[in-house]
Amino acid sequence: MATLPAVEIRRMVCQGLEEDLAQGDATTSALFSSPVPALAEIIAQQSLVVAGMAAAVQTFLMVDPSLRLSVSKRDGERVKDGEPLLQIEGDGRSILLAERVALNFLQHLSGIATLTQRFCQAVRGYHASILDTRKTLPGWRALQKWAVSLGGGINHRRSLSDGILIKDNHLALLQRTRRPVERACRLAHARRSSDLPIIVEVESLADVRQALTGKPDIILLDNMAPDLVRRAVTLIKKQALVEVSGGITLKNVRAMAAAGADRISIGALTHSAPAATISLVMTLTQPSRRRRS
């Protein structure tokens, strides 16, 4: 299972609580002047892949270390509609303080993991891998890419330093040179300081031919229909890995895999995944001595 450093989770939780609680909770303070014993349960309201549980737990404990937590489902587990994810017992005021931030982590990250899983299931039977992109929220990249991996996807570059990816705007600055796609690949080979992969984005079969002469590690077919992808794969003949990107949806991703793509990169995994439907239900209770798990 994919793991995320505890320090990264703590950083994000601190940031979330600072945003929400810097000036306190006016509503809870107005209604409750003393502890209110309560029991809360976080419940999935759809089938989903859990992501963000570690952050949710950290959120509640950072607000109030005396809260007693019982985790039913951990990060990476699949759950069905109606299944409990987490139980929290203690002062209801503390639960209210942490509720929104904890749910934000669970809903957003579980949404990413769940969408990723759907894409992975859609290409089952083919050798194509589902990859994310750098289209992430500032500060959230580590968590969003972690959620992708929990859903079965593979992380593409984590930063600009993780590979040489020659895109359309790089090529636009080389348009005055002869055969810019080939030229860009040759420059990358000559100047890379390590074994970083060289990926070049192309938009036509003519560009593919230029790329093959430049010998990149991966040729990225941008916004091509499945039939054109198939023709490009035939032209490439395994001289480079084939990646497809641009306009990938659950309706066409299987066709892209069937056309012979090795990698399918999808920005929507992180920038457009719908939040998972998860709720917190709270009731009054009597204090208990249950141990935190």
Block residue for tokens 């703590």: 10
Phi first, then psi, for residue 180 (nearest 5°) are: -60, -35
Residue 288: the pLDDT is: 55
Residue 4: the pLDDT is: 81
In a domain, 292, yes or no: no
Catalytic residue among 25, 64, 217, 222: 222
Amino acid code (one letter) for 160: L
167 assigned to active site: yes
Catalytic residue among 20, 91, 132, 201: 201
* Same domain, residue pair 93 and 164: no
Cα distance between residue 135 and residue 155, in whole Å: 12
In a domain, 144, yes or no: yes
* Per-position b or e across 235-257, b if 16+ CB within 10 A of its CB: ebeeebbbbbbeebeeebbbbbb
145 assigned to active site: no
* Same domain, residue pair 255 and 131: yes
* Same domain, residue pair 50 and 143: no
Block residue for tokens 């570059």: 157
Q: Hey, which residues does 282 pair with through a beta bridge? A: 40
Model pLDDT for residues 79-104, shown as the tens digit of each residue: 999 999 999 999 999 999 999 999 99
Q: Can you read off the two tokens belonging to residue 68?
A: 């007693």
In a domain, 293, yes or no: no
Cα distance between residue 137 and residue 126, in whole Å: 31
What sign for the dihedral angle of Cα 272, 9, 13, 100?
Answer: positive
In a domain, 73, yes or no: yes
Model pLDDT for residues 107-165, shown as the tens digit of each residue: 999 999 999 999 999 999 999 999 999 999 999 999 999 999 999 999 999 999 999 99
What is residue 270's three-state secondary structure?
A: helix
- List Cβ neighbours of 28 (8 Å cut-off, separation of 6 or more): 93, 96, 97
Cα distance between residue 271 and residue 250, in whole Å: 15
* Same domain, residue pair 126 and 216: yes
* Same domain, residue pair 49 and 112: yes
Residue 178: the pLDDT is: 87
Residue 177: the pLDDT is: 87
Residue 195: the pLDDT is: 86
One digit per residue, pLDDT tens: the chain, 293 residues? 567 878 889 999 999 999 999 999 999 999 999 999 999 999 999 999 999 999 999 999 999 999 999 999 999 999 999 999 999 999 999 999 999 999 999 999 999 999 999 999 999 999 999 999 999 999 999 999 999 999 999 999 999 999 999 999 999 999 888 899 999 999 999 998 888 999 999 999 999 999 999 999 999 999 999 999 999 999 999 999 999 999 999 999 999 999 999 999 999 999 999 999 999 999 998 755 544 44
In a domain, 289, yes or no: no
* Same domain, residue pair 267 and 279: no
* Same domain, residue pair 31 and 170: no
Residue 183 sits in a domain whose CATH number is 3.20.20.70
Cα distance between residue 74 and residue 247, in whole Å: 32
* Same domain, residue pair 258 and 170: yes
201 assigned to active site: yes
Q: What is the DSSP letter of 211?
A: H
Catalytic residue among 8, 81, 162, 167: 167
pTM above 0.85, yes or no: yes
51 within 8 A of 110, measured Cβ to Cβ:
yes
* Same domain, residue pair 165 and 65: no
Catalytic residue among 11, 78, 100, 186: 100
What is residue 246's three-state secondary structure?
A: coil
Strands 129-131, 37-44: pairing is: unpaired
Q: Can you read off the two tokens belonging to residue 193?
A: 């300081």
What is the extent of the structural domain holding 57?
Answer: 6-117+274-284
* Same domain, residue pair 166 and 109: no
How many domains does one find in the chain?
2
* Same domain, residue pair 139 and 242: yes
Amino acid code (one letter) for 88: I
* Same domain, residue pair 188 and 258: yes
Residue 127: the pLDDT is: 96
113 within 8 A of 270, measured Cβ to Cβ:
no
